[in-house]
């Protein structure tokens, strides 16, 4: 079961990274940065190729290697989270969205290392949202779902585990007290 879960996770990561890199390749080969605009839904949603040396909204501009380092740390942490929960059947969603986040993070990490910038090309003009890409969707949506799961779904699991540990410790203390009383009575 463990090997199957690892294989499926690796396959999903490969597929997500391939989709991300293929879409970016097509944009780079067919569009001029900061110039071409291809309308997808009127003027509201367009393809517009930019070379992003920072993160969303222009933050961390020209800090590509810092962002690459943060990505590596995030991938390692998410990998740990995946393997920590690999045997838990009740954590399928956590494993799934952890893997999707890893796939997106790897997609952008490849750009940062290979190009020293990230290829962004999806622009929601109707809300003037920063230009983004497929990997950004994977990371953002999955991270949001992971936070939701942690706050609303798995929170009770942790509390239940803590109660269970406390009950086990209390049961051991009671057993020790009973054994001591038994020894004193003899």
In the block, tokens 């893997």 appear at 99
Catalytic residue among 89, 136, 171, 183: 136
Q: How far apart are CA 30 and CA 68, in angstroms?
A: 26
Q: Active-site residue among 90, 120, 128, 183?
A: 120
Q: Which residues contact 98 (CB under 8 A, 6 or more apart)?
A: 78, 81, 82, 85, 142, 146
For residues 33 and 133, what is the distance between their CA atoms, to the nearest angstrom?
14
Phi, psi of 39 (to 5 degrees): -75, 130
User: How many helices (H) does the chain have, and how many strands (E)?
Assistant: 5, 3
Contact of 97 with 149, CB cutoff 8 Å: yes
Q: What are phi and psi of 42, to 5 degrees?
A: 55, -140
Whether residue 128 lies in the annotated active site? no
Catalytic-residue membership of 136: yes
Active-site positions read 120, 136
């Amino acid at each position: 079961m463990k090997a199957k879960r690892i294989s499926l996770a690796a396959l999903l990561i490969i597929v997500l990274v391939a989709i991300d890199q293929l879409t970016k390749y097509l944009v780079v080969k067919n569009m001029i940065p900061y110039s071409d605009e291809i309308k997808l839904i009127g003027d509201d949603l367009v393809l517009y190729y930019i070379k992003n040396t920072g993160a969303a909204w222009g933050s961390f501009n020209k800090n590509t290697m810092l962002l690459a380092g943060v990505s590596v740390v995030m991938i390692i942490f998410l990998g740990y989270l995946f393997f920590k929960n690999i045997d838990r059947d009740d954590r399928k969603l956590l494993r799934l969205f952890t893997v999707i986040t890893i796939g997106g993070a790897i997609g952008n990490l490849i750009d940062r290392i290979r190009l020293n910038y990230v290829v962004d090309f999806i622009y929601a003009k109707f809300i003037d949202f920063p230009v983004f890409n497929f990997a950004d969707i994977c990371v953002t949506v999955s991270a949001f779902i992971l936070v939701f799961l942690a706050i609303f779904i798995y929170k009770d699991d942790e509390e239940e585990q803590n109660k269970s540990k406390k009950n086990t410790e209390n049961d051991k203390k009671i057993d020790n007290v009973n054994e001591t009383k038994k020894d004193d009575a003899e």
